[in-house]
Amino acid sequence: MAFLLRKKENPPLEELVNQFLDENSGEVDLAWHLEMEKMPYIPPVVKFMDWMAEKGYNSNYDRKTIEAELLKAVEARVSKRGVK
């Protein structure tokens, strides 16, 4: 029965980040408001890693890579709103 405990294969990190942001749209709202107030946005790396574990994906990405990908995806969504 060990095959039941096997974790899912990870899709590309970009796809995981987009799924995470779709499910947690408040992160984009927060980033947008912080941008309007000229304050820095710090991506929720730990929350993302917990979300990955909850979904059953291997979290074999390092924190810097996750942070960079989250920031890139959030900035893209914020720029669609007309900021920057």
Find the domain containing 23 and state its range.
10-80
Residue 60, domain member (yes or no): yes
Say if 62 falls within a structural domain.
yes
pLDDT band (50, 70, 90) for residue 77: very high
| Rounded average pLDDT over 21-35 | 94
Neighbours of 50 (CB within 10 A): 12
Is 4 domain-assigned?
no
pLDDT of residue 53: 92
The domain total for the chain is: 1
Would you say 30 and 41 are in contact if contact means Cβ atoms under 8 Å apart? yes
Cβ-contact 59, 45 below 8 angstroms: no
In a domain, 32, yes or no: yes
